[in-house]
Amino acid sequence: MQSYLDELKPDVNITSFKQKEYIIQKLRDRFMSYGYQQIQTPAFEPYDLYTTVTGTIHPDDMIKVMDPSGRVLVLRPDITIPITQKVASYVNHQSEELRYFYVLDVYRTTFNQQHDYEKTQAGIEFFGNETADSDAEVIALANQTLLDLKFKKFTIEIGHAAFFKEILEMVSISKEEKQLLKQFIQAKNIPGLEEFLHHLEIEESVKELIQEIPFLYGEPLKVIEKAKMLSLTKSMVEKLNRIKAIYETLSSYGYEEHVILDLGLINHMEYYSDVIFQGYIENIGKPILSGGRYDQLANQFHSSIPAIGFAFDVDLLVNQSPKQTDTLLNCTIQYNQSNKEKGIQTAQFLRKHNYSVTLSNEQQKVKSKYIIMLNKNSYTLSYQKDSYEVKSSNELLKIIQKLEGGN
């Protein structure tokens, strides 16, 4: 998370903080409109929680501390895992739907941008529903949230974690070679991929399938049709049919224009088991949100609960979202010792009507949208180059409301 008080540009920091609070409130409102309830996890978690779960954060990426008893703790590197553990502790099988959202900081050494190891994430976790409709609803929520934040050009890229995992199972290669293969596909490095496959002794049909993966990208129905022409297993075809069902439901929401299918999409969180997705906005090369289905994660906590979720990178949203104007007005009342009581009463009156008001001595220079001077039996309101004289605080309020367009 960005520091807001350690620079010598307080106006910039305050503006950025206000923008962040505005975005977080927008996210909260939208998440709650889909029936999600806010929860929180501890900032410090047992180190073992993450090292005993497969497919999670690499230990080198965690920030570790030791408590007075000698137990190793980590600053929260992930949010999905502790939430799943908590749910699994009181639900041992799929019995009901649970919808949670969070706005929390995560800590990893891999962030390390100007020694900043902290990022704010806002996301949702939907437990207890394993249908394609629930996948579509979650992706629709991500779409609608980006529209709430006034992003006009964005895409949600959908893939399937198990589709690529099944392809890897078809080839007998080392762990290091699998990692290299992932890198070629993720970067869509066609020459590198072809050179890599040339030296592998695998069936030609499998080689052809792998070579085609970087090209299985675009409008979902066309990509699915193209993919089905390749040598696929029955389970691969079923996965494509699942994606088709998700896309058709997203069309009912009216969000199909933002959706792209990428069968080469790879998420480094290995606990994802089925559909995965990432959100991109114009001119930004990294995802602004990512998520997917993780139906087997609860199994590692001795439970069986299907689940899907996603998280926004809030700090990236703050940097890239259209800047919002302040929701509170900036009024300054200038007073002297003889009319200080009147100034305080006027400030309290305007604050009760949800306006931002500061009190300032007449001798001080002020920078404010509205400046209110106190006269013996009236008020003078200055706004831009105009001045308005009114007799009462009620009249003062009406003038400000009129200048704000009746709000």
Q: Which of 57, 89, 46, 83 is nearest to 302 (CA)?
A: 89
Task: Give CA–CA dist 276/168, Å, rounded.
Answer: 17
284 marked as binding residue? no
399 marked as binding residue? no
271 marked as binding residue? yes
Query: Looking at this protein, which amino acid is placed at residue 114?
Result: Q
Helix pair 132-148, 10-33: axis angle to 10 deg: 150
- State phi, psi for 249 to the nearest 5 degrees: -70, -40
The answer to whether the beta carbons of residues 253 and 135 sit under 8 Å apart is: no
125 marked as binding residue? yes
Please give the DSSP secondary-structure letter assigned to residue 322. Answer: P
Task: Give CA–CA dist 275/355, Å, rounded.
Answer: 46
Segment (H or E) for 74: strand 72-75
Task: Give CA–CA dist 210/201, Å, rounded.
Answer: 13
Q: How many CA atoms lie within 13 A of 270 on its CB side?
A: 10
Q: Residues marked as binding for L-histidine?
A: 78-80, 108, 121, 125, 271-272
Q: Residues marked as binding?
A: 78-80, 108, 121, 125, 271-272
